[in-house]
Structure 1
């Protein structure tokens, strides 16, 4: 496996959220087999693209499900984006 994280899921904030679709959460698998997540944002007027805003990527989880559960607990808009109210 390469030395890069592999994104398993990328979830965009709902358009009803204040930041609209300018936020997302990626759940990823590291080359060592552990999992993590990060929250990103982008600004339409900034061509640099997405950048980390949650600073969660150093957290280590044993499974994709565990990483996603923690992301849902920490990122305020994520449950709404996934269909939970």
Structure 2
């Protein structure tokens, strides 16, 4: 299944193995999720937050919800 969401912003934790993506859905709603990848595993990124079903009216609301939910995100944005 192809990914249909458009990633607007990807914020990486140091080491670039964990990130939060802020995305736009085809229906015009916004969302976010937390992902992980293991360099030794070639399958790529996979969800570890399982927050991707939340719906927000705009990118800023999705980012604020991500900041309230993902503990490390505020520090990564301040870096």
| Same fold, judged at TM 0.5 (above) | yes
Supply the RMSD in Å over aligned alpha carbons: 1.4
TM-score (norm 1): 0.85
Aligned partners of 1:76, 1:45: CA distance in 2, in Å?
Answer: 25
TM-score normalised by structure 2 residue count: 0.91
Structure 2, unmatched stretches of 5+, are none
User: Counterpart of 1:62 in 2: which secondary structure?
Assistant: coil
Count of matched residue pairs: 77
Is 1:76 paired with 2:75? Answer: no
Query: Rg bigger for which structure?
Result: 1
Task: Quote the offset at 1:22 in angstroms.
Answer: 0.7
1:2-48 deviation digits (Å, cap 9, x = unpaired): x81111000001x2xxxx32100000010111000010001121111
Deviation >4 Å, runs of 4+ = none
Distance 1:8 1:22 in 2: 19
